[in-house]
Amino acid sequence: MLAGKGVKIYLIVENRTKEPLSIHGTFGVNGVIVENDYICASKLIGKAKVIVELGIFYRKLSIIDVSSIDDIESFSYGFWSLDMNGQKLNNLEKLKDMMLPS
Closest CA to 45 of 12, 23, 78, 77: 23
The whole-model pTM stands at: 0.90
Q: Could you list the beta-strand ranges (E) of 45-95.
A: 49-57, 74-82
Tell whether the model's pLDDT for residue 10 goes beyond 80: yes
pLDDT band at residue 102, thresholds of 50, 70 and 90?
A: confident
CA distance 71 to 76: 15
Element (H, E) at 60: helix 58-61
Pair 13, 42: CB distance under 8 Å: no
Tell whether the model's pLDDT for residue 16 goes beyond 90: yes
pLDDT band at residue 27, thresholds of 50, 70 and 90?
A: very high
